[in-house]
Each structure stands twice: as C-alpha cells, then as structure tokens.
Structure 1
Amino acid sequence: MRSPPMSRRRGGSAGLGIVAIAYVGIDYLRHLSPAWHERLQPAVWAGLAIAVVIRVPFYKHWLLELRAAVPFILSILFMLSALLFEAISVRSVTAVLGLDWHNGTPPLPDVGQWLLLSLNEKLPQVLVDILRAGIIGLHHFLMLFVMLAFSVLYNSVEAPGLGLAARYIFTMGIGRLLRAIAFISTILPSPRPWCASARFQVPPHPHPWAQKYYVPYATDSNAIRRIIQLDVAYAVAGEYETDFQPNWGNMDFLADFLRPTASEGSSSWYNLLKKAGGGCNDLLYSGHMLVAVLTAMAWTEAYGGFSSALIWMLVMHSAQREIRERHHYSVDCIVAIYMGIYLWKMTSLFWPIKDTSRARRLNKLEKIQNRLIKAAKDSDMDEVRELLKEVELSSQVSQKPGSRAMWLFSGATIFFTIVLVLLAFTLTSDG
C-alpha cells in the first residue's frame, strides 16, 4: 500500500478549502436562520454526493485504493474494539463510586475556566458572542476529513484516499484506547456535578472495591497518612446494599464493571453501553478535541494552504467552548491537542514502512537526471516540463480500463464509505 498523502495540495487550487469552510458556514445557519438551513443543507449534501459520483468513472487510481482496502478495514475493526473498551470504561468510572459521590463532590479548580470568565468581562460583547457561538462541532470535523479523503477524486490530495482514511482511523483508535486507559486509572469529578444523576441509573453507593480501598480514607487525612505507612487497607467498610446481579449469560462478568440497577435488569449489557455516550466524569483527555486535532493534522499534511490555518482556528475555538461550557477541564483539551499532534506524527514513522510512490519518483529522477540537467542548461523549458511530467507519471498506478472487478470495487467502496459516514454521524454525535 502506498503512503497516505504527504504533499501539499496539487495545482495550487484552493477549491477544497473554500468548499469546506462554506459547508461549516451553511451548517451554522441552523442558529441564524433555520428556514434557510432547511433549504440549503439538503442541497449541499446532494451537491457533495453528486460531485463524488460524477468523478468516479474518471478516477485512475482504483488499484491503489484496492491495495489500501485491507488496512482500511483492519483499522476500522481496531477502532471499533477501542471504542468498545472506552464505552465499558465510561460506564465503569461513572458507576464505581455511585451517584452519591457524583452529587456531593465539587468540580476541580480550573484556571482556564476562570480565565474565560474574566475575559467575558473585558472583551467586546461581539467577540464574546463569537467565542460562545456553536460554530463547529464533532460532526463538522468528521465531515471535513471525509471531504478531504474524497477529494482524491479531484486530485486535490494524493491517492489513495483509503490509505489516508486508514491512517486517520488507526490513529484515532490508538488515541481513544490511550484515553480510556488514562481516565479509568484515576477517576476525576465532573465539571457538571448533576450530570450523572440526570443521565445514568447506577447504585447510589460505591462499588465494593471503593468501599474497601477508598471510602474509609477519602475524608480523613490521618487515615491517609496511616495507610501510606502501613501500605495495607486496614479500615472496616460500612454497611452497603448488595449490587443487583443481572442475567447476561456469558457476559455476566461485565455486571461488576457496569453495575446495572434492578430497573435496568431487563436491559442487555450493550444497551447500557449505548446509554454511556460521552460519559459524565471528567474523561482525561477530550475525545472531541482528539478528533478535531487529527482532522487538522490530516488536512495540514495532505492539503495545506489557508484553509488548514482556518481549521486550526476552529480547533482552538472548539477547545475554548469545551472549557467554557464545562464539558471538560482545561487540562483535557490541552493534553488532547498535543496527544493528537504526537500520535499523528508517530504513525507517520511506520505508516507505511516504505513509501513506494516516492521511491518510484526518485528512481525515475535518477534515470533522467542527465537529460534534465542538459535541458536546463539549454533553457529548453518544454523539455524540462516533459521530463518532470514523466517523473510524476512514474508514481501513478492505473487500473486496467473497463475492468469489471475494478468497477465493482469502486462502486462498493463508494457505497461502503457513504454508509460508514452516515453511521459515524448518527452514532458518535456525543463524542
């Protein structure tokens, strides 16, 4: 498989960036003029779909897409596994201490939140309104990446689009897995203390582990000092109700993590996970910001230009809104930004191991080096252009014209990716 795009946009066209920013602007009409939004949004979706379909017959790199299909599918399976682990972890950290802890534990002090509140008093009201505006959300960043990947049909970024998508999904899977490991390791109180009671049905009392290892020492500094000295849980836990035990068959072991109540006894374990959503505890680091940063990194690397700078501005706007609306603490957004940058750079080291496209171009350039130098000395620009065109064409692999298998693959790819996009928008709206 060839590498994901590493070059800036081709041909100097800014069309993709204009379309992307226009999409975000039109979608914001839902707040300014719902009537116009209802008219324009379906037209925009239809226009984007038509733009994809009409270019399919002219796309010359389906063989490259075919080579990238297996890593793409494997990346999806990996990310789904990471999301399953994350969903179990979200429910677990909410349930382990019980609703009484959520209701009675104050949020952590957050200097970033204080700073934004102070800026509200100092900045012009127009600027404050812009900072508060819901300009961009998670589904916008997903859509921006989808547009970037499909732009291979217009040669805006380097093929294969599935290769870029595979790297994006794989990197996101790593990020979500590391995120779940982080927030399940140390449970942090929510910036919204009422959230758990409003969204979850879990026991009010803590899990037996918390009863033994946390509750007796949580509010007594002398008890904490003694447990440090003894390194043994010495206190006797109080009397608590016994947790409800559902009948989930082979999945009964999940009851210890998910802690369903009797009122949820008829629900299956995966129905509880669907209700977990984005969780209520502070989940270090922010999943929304991870998606935003990965989209910005992919856009900057594959396309570049003014639009990538605008997307980074939208990332910053989204970060301050996450803090301002107390979906996350400041540290969650800060860590998500540098984790997203780090993970994207890290995967570039081995995704793929060998850049076959670049290797072919270098080999061709070595073969025509003398001819290119001679043409340059003779000021024969037509010859120079022809030689450089040969170098570019040497990196391209085209499918056999009229191949039925390739047509079938192209149709299946477009259909599958569109279905995947719709599922992503439907199922991941809460992060």
Structure 2
Amino acid sequence: MRWPVVKTGGLGLAAMAYVVIDYLRIISPTWHERLQPLLWSFLALVAVTRVPFYRHWSVEFRAVIPFLASMMLMLSALLFEALNVRFVTAVLGLDWHNARPPLPDSGQWLLLALNEKLPEAVVEILRAHIIGLHHYLMLFIMLAFSVLFDSVKAPALGLGARYMFTMAVGRLLRAVTFASTILPSARPWCASSHYSIIPRHPHRWAQKYYAPYASDTDAIRQVIQRDMAYADCGNYSVEYHPDWGSMSFLIDFLRPTTSEGSSWYSLLKKAGGGCNDLVYSGHMLVAVLTAMAWTEAYGGYSSALLWLLVIHSVQREIRERHHYSVDCVVAIYVGILLWKMTGFIWSVKGGTRDGRLAKLGKIQGRLVQAAKDCDMDEVRELLKDVELRNEEGPRKGGSKVMWLFASGTMFFSLTIVILAFALTSDG
C-alpha cells in the first residue's frame, strides 16, 4: 500500500486532537465539555479564513454533479438497507430470535483467551471505547476540508463523491448479502429488547418454507428429495395490514403492527442496526473507507495510526459481540477492494501524461531560461502553474458566480458537519 509523503503533519495532529479530546467524555466529562467546542470552533474559523485564498473553485464546481449524484445514490442505498434490516428481523418472528443461540465464533474465543494471557492494562486499552462510527465520519470530513490548506488534492467534492459512491455500493452489496441468508444475532437478547412489538410468529413465507423443516432431520431430507414444500403450515394469527397507499407492497416485507403507527417511514426509522447478524459490518465498512481515503489522499504516520484504530475497532466489535469475526474480516477486504475500484471518480494522481507534456511545451522557453539563470524559485512557480492549470483547465463564469458558489459550498459543508456530528454522536 502506498504511503504518500506530505508537506505537513497539521491535519494528522488536528485529527488526533479530535479523537483524544472526544475520548475525554469518558475519563473527564468536564474537560470534554470545555475543550470540544473550542476545538470545533477553532477548526471552523481556520477553514473559513482560508476560503478567499483557495484556488480550485472551478474544479470544485465541475465536481458538484458527481457529488450530488453520489449523495442521492447513498441515500437510496441506505433506504434499501433499512428495508432489508426490517425484513430479516421481522420475517421469522420474535420467538425465533429468542430461541436461537449465537453461532460459534473462533475470533471471540481468541479474544477471551487473550484476556487471560495479556496484562490487565493492555486488556483495558483493548476494551476502551476510543473511536466509533461518528469519529470516522468526522475524520473524513476533516480530510476533505484540508484541501483548503493544499494538504489534499482538489477537488474536495470529488473526494466526497468517491467516498459516498463507494459507501453506497458497499451498502447495497451488504444488504443483498445479509438478506440472502438470515443468521442469528451474536446477542440473543437483542430482538426482545429492541423489537418487542414485531409479531412473535413467523411470516407466512417462513411458515411454509422454513418452520416445518427447521429442526426435523427427516423433514429436511424429504424436502431436499422432493424439492418442494409439503408440510402442514399450521394456524397463525392474521397479519396486520395498514393503509399505506402506493407503498402497501412493503407490508409483506416489513410486517407492521398496530402499535407502530400508520407510517412506513416512521417504522423504518426504528430499524436501527437490526438484531440479526448482518454480513458484513457497516461500521467497519465506514472505518475502512475512511482509512483508505486518508491513506491515498494524505498518507504519512497519521494513516498508520488510523489503521491501528481500525484494528482496535475490529476487535472491539467482535469483543462486544456486535458482529461475528467474519463480518469484520469481510468488511475490511470489501472496503479496500471497492475503494481501489472507484479511483475513476477521484484520484490523488494528476492529469494525463499527454496533457502535462503539452502544457510543459508551452512554457519550455521560460523554463529553460530560468534553469540557465539558476532561478529555482521561478522554476518551482512555473511547474506549480502547470500543475494548477492541469487541474483546473479554463476558468468559466465570473468571479461573482464563483464567490457565490464558494460561499454556498462552505455553508453547506459546515451544515453537514454539524448534522453529522449531532446525528451520529451515538454511533
């Protein structure tokens, strides 16, 4: 994996300061309440003061449509995932969840064994809630904002488009994966504590195709030989059918109850992370994509530290039984492969070789003369101008339009930061 060389470690220091200050919420809530607003206010103020000096607004303008398209795709993927989370939770009924023990997980066994071998201080560090989902989202937002300081290659909206597009594809693949085979939760009590209002009995599909053959080996053998469902389904309660209008086709998938209201959307908002084992881990997908983006765009020692935090998150997800080990392992290599495949949206590499050669040809005389004069500052400026022109191309639109676009982009971005921080603070 490539570790690019960076000019400054300012972004890495800011990122680590954010993680450390946010961890004070556990060890010193008083200092956390004092320092966290100061840090965010300082970072926001510094970012705003850099806006007038940012030279890549034309590049950002061209990245708006891919950014908005990626955002819509991601929102659609999250909706599709929420539908599948509710389906796999409700289709077998609450009784099934309560009766199913968790699957054997060798990763969990390994961590329990290490607890007996490692020093207590090390075990406590492994158990510590150092970083969560909202931290990874914020770290990516900080990475995108660092284009204002030329720490990361523009456009930031292009980087954001790649991040959201990759996450959307990953979420769609995840939803298809965990809906294909329904697996029991690593926390057997989860369904009772979160979904006590879902029907206790299985859906009519599960009544016909699963329940009669779930534990009887002879029945399983018979249905395999016949390749057709044959057992008596029994009698179960009648399903509740609210009037959802054009969305009524979702009733069979979501299995609403009378106590959940009449809105399908409000029902989906209660889906949360689900209580089945959802292969693969969505939390770890976000963590890996953030680490991949950071490594490619910024690099340095902060990238290595971020990957250590990802590994810490992996073992904590397994240790606390939010996921089985397979969910975290699959999320890691899926996240890496997906990020590698979406480099066509945004890449740290510059323009084409032919384009660079053409622009160098135009300044060849000036470059040669500067070299003869040993004027290295002039050489650097000429090469920087080639790089800038290669990124931006011809400018379009007036300065007023660009200033309006810059102001709107900053307002939108800071609003997203505030919303992300507020809505994901609980992971």
Contact 1:60 1:399 in 2 (8 A): no
Alpha-carbon displacement from aligned partner over 1:117-175 (angstroms, at most 9, x marks no partner): 00000000110000000000000000000000000001100111000000000100000
TM superposition score normalised by structure 1: 0.92
Aligned to 2:216: 220
Whole-angstrom CA distance in 2 between matches of 1:409 and 1:175: 31
2:287 counterpart of 1:292: yes
| 1:260 corresponds to which of 256, 263, 271 | 256
- Equivalents in 2 of 1:145, 1:358: separation in Å? 27
* 1:51 aligned onto 2:46: yes
- TM-aligned CA deviation for residue 351 of structure 1: 2.2
Query: Where does the alignment leave 5 or more consecutive residues of structure 1 unmatched?
Result: 1-5
1:203 offset after TM fit, Å? 0.1
354, 357, 360: which one pairs with 2:351?
357
Contact 1:191–1:327 at 8 Å: present in 2 too? yes
CA deviations 1:14-54 (Å, max 9, x no partner) are: 11011101110010000110000000011111111111111
CA, structure 1 residues 353+314, in 2 after alignment: closer, same or farther (shift >3 Å)? closer
Residue in structure 2 matching 1:320, options 306, 315, 319: 315
Structure 2 distance, partners of 1:63, 1:384, is 25
3-state SS of paired residue (1:136) = coil
Partner Cα separation in structure 2 for residue 184 and residue 123 of structure 1:
38
SS at match of 2:185: coil
Counterpart-to-counterpart distance in 2, 1:7 and 1:128: 30
- Report the Cα distance in structure 2 between the residues aligned to 1:18 and 1:26, rounded to whole angstroms: 12
Cα displacement string for residues 324-360 of structure 1 (whole angstroms, at most 9, x for unaligned residues): 0000000000000000000000111x32699873454
- The residue aligned with 1:423 is 419
SS of corresponding position for 1:395: helix
- Does 2:296 correspond to 1:301? yes
Deviation digits for residues 51-82 of structure 1, max 9, x if unmatched?
Answer: 11111111111111110011101100000000
Residue identity opposite 2:144 in structure 1: A
Instruction: Quote the offset at 1:426 in angstroms.
Output: 3.9
Among all aligned residue pairs of Structure 1 and Structure 2, give the percentage whose two residues are the same amino acid: 68
Alignment-mate amino acid for residue 176 of structure 1: R
Alignment partner, residue 337 of structure 2: 342
Post-superposition offset of 1:368: 6.0
Deviation at 1:395, TM superposition (A): 2.2
2:156 is matched with 161
Of stretches 99-108 and 412-421 in structure 1, the one that deviates more from structure 2 is: 412-421
CA distance in 2, matches of 1:173, 1:358: 28
Give the partner amino acid of 1:351: I
Which amino acid is 1:419 matched to? T
Deviation at 1:92, TM superposition (A): 0.6
Cα distance in structure 2, aligned partners of 1:233 and 1:329: 32
Give me the whole-angstrom Cα distance separating, in 1, the residues matched to 2:235 and 2:19: 54
Offset at residue 267 of structure 1 (A): 3.7
- Mapping 1:271-282, distance limit 5 Å: 271-282=266-277
SS of the equivalent of 2:154 reads coil
Contact in 2 for aligned 1:29/1:36 (Cα 8 Å):
yes
Deviation at 1:400, TM superposition (A): 7.7
Task: Decide whether the 8 Å contact of 2:279 with 2:327 is kept in 1.
Answer: yes
Residue 406 of structure 1: how far off its partner (Å) = 1.1
* 1-structure distance, mates of 2:250, 2:399: 49
- What's 1:137 paired with? 132
1:361–1:394 Cα contact (<8 Å) kept: no
Q: Is the 8 A contact 1:196 1:280 kept in 2?
A: yes
Q: Does 1:241 align with 2:237?
A: yes
Output aligned runs, 1:26-425, within 5 Å.
26-200=21-195, 201-264=197-260, 266-348=261-343, 350-351=344-345, 357-359=351-353, 360-365=355-360, 381=376, 384-397=379-392, 403-425=399-421
Residues matched between the structures, number: 423
Measured at CA, do residues 226 and 383 of structure 1 come closer, stay the same or move farther in structure 2, by a change above 3 Å? Answer: same
Q: Tell me the TM-score normalised to structure 2 length.
A: 0.93
**What one-letter code is carried by the residue in structure 1 that aligns with 2:387?**
E
User: How far apart, CA to CA, are the structure 1 residues paired with 2:244 and 2:61?
Assistant: 41
